[in-house]
Amino acid sequence: MKLHATQTQQYQTVTGYEDDWIEINAVRFEDSLLVLPELAPRPWKVTSFESLEPAHFDAVADTDPDLVILGTGERQRFVPPRLLTALMARRIGLECMDNRAACRTYNILMAEGRKVALALILPGKAGR
């Protein structure tokens, strides 16, 4: 799906997505990714939902968002609380949703000026 450009083009905006890729400012990514409005997208070393570990959320917490939107793949899944200690310790909220909803929600919150991070689990080239 392609999304229309908005007045937020100076920020990292989701401009398109499918189940196995995402575009940030028209640049395509196929591996799991961490996206913040004012920083270049960075790889997020998660290969699948089942491979999530506390260290993955430590890396997200280190970016200091107020809220993390976690895209869990093609369907919504919920993370066990034992993996979220870094986020809970810093009072960072977490919302889990499928990747498509996560992309749309991130764009809305980012456009509102919220301090939001998008952590997206993608299958990557190895997963296909």
The pLDDT tens digits of the residues spanning 19-77 come to 899 999 999 999 999 999 999 999 999 999 999 999 999 999 999 999 999 999 999 99
Tell me the two tokens of residue 15. Answer: 């401009």
Residue 67's beta-bridge partner residues?
93, 116
Count of Cβ atoms closer than 10 Å to residue 10 Cβ: 9
Q: What is the pTM of this model?
A: 0.89
Q: Are strands 67-71 and 116-123 parallel, antiparallel or unpaired?
A: parallel
Query: Tokens in use for 36?
Result: 């913040």
What structural domains does the chain harbor?
Answer: 14-127 (3.40.1230.10)
Tell me the two tokens of residue 13: 């905006």
- With the C-alpha atoms ordered 86, 88, 90, 93, is the resulting torsion angle positive or negative? positive
**92, 84 contact by CB (below 8 A):** no
